[in-house]
Amino acid sequence: MKFNTIVKAIVAGLAISATASAQTKLVVKGSDTLGAKMVPQLAEKYKADGNNVSFEIAAEGSSTCFTNLLAGTADFGMSSRAVKSSEKNNFSSAGKDLVEHVAAFDMMAVIVNEANDVKELTKDQVKGIFTGTITDWSEVGGKAGEIKAFTRNTSSGTYKSFQKLGMDNVDYGKNTQKMAGNEQIAQEVAKNANGIGYVGLAYLGKSGIAPTSIDGVLPEPKNAADYALSRKLYYYTVGQPTGEVKKFIDWATTTKEAGKVIDKVGFISPVK
């Protein structure tokens, strides 16, 4: 009898220990702009602060934020653009409420090869370059040479945001070359003397590239209110978040600890 009691106590103790050590897994899908650097670094800080959580982060473009949330294959999503009305209607049709949370602020920096003399552009010139009506650097005060414009791919929220803010929603030029992420654009511009592209603030430190000013304003955090290509970055949830999702999003959007990570990565924290 005494032996059975001891065995039961040990089993119960092991069960309690296993429950206490059980790790919550959060699946996060969507934007490359958020998912390549910012969210992984926030996740590491969150775990380092004692939260027993693992993260599965898939940064495959903002459009996948909404398709995965709708399918129920993500706990929350990341998007570098606001949800489209058509996407929101899909959730409404499925009886689901999509909730938006501001994750950070960003500035889409137009970058050129560091050897390029052109470091100042107007918004009209940016529009002309990416729509294909301006095709040679001599047209914007540089040395003659065919402009090689690199953009994000069509599933990217940055692709859409840049088209809206930098191109007045005009279609991209047929000769623009689509890249999977910010990193790839920075790499292509760095190795192409006639290259131009756009990246989030977090990628301006890459070697071989330089930012251009737009209408005299450089992409620097202090200029966020005046820079033509400033934007919000978002988390999305189906309904108001609960449990570990709520705990993480609240921490990531309201605490100074998270704000320091966001600022260090190169974005602008929403924490005042």
Instruction: Evaluate the CA torsion angle 246, 252, 257, 261 in order and state its sign.
Output: positive
pLDDT at position 22: 65
For the whole model, what pTM was predicted?
0.80
Contacts for 159 with CB less than 8 Å, ≥ 6 apart: 151, 152, 153, 178
Counting beta carbons within 10 angstroms of the beta carbon of residue 258, is it exposed (0 to 12), middle (13 to 18) or buried (19 or more)? buried
The answer to whether the CB of 207 falls within 8 A of the CB of 199 is no
The answer to whether 210 and 116 have CB atoms below 8 angstroms apart is: yes
Alpha carbon dihedral 79, 81, 85, 88, in 10-degree steps, equals 10
Per-residue pLDDT tens digits of the chain, which is 272 residues long: 454 554 444 444 444 443 334 679 999 999 999 999 999 999 999 999 999 999 999 999 999 999 999 999 999 999 999 999 999 999 999 999 999 999 999 999 999 999 999 999 999 999 999 999 999 999 999 999 999 999 999 989 999 999 999 999 999 999 999 999 999 999 999 999 999 999 999 899 899 999 999 999 999 999 988 999 999 999 999 999 999 999 999 999 999 999 999 999 989 999 87
Whether residue 81 contacts residue 158, with contact meaning beta carbons closer than 8 Å, is answered with: yes
Q: Is the dihedral of CA 21, 24, 25, 26 positive or negative?
A: negative
First to last CA, the chain: 63
Please report the domains of the chain, with CATH numbers, ordered by start residue: 20-105+232-265 (3.40.190.10), 109-228 (3.40.190.10)
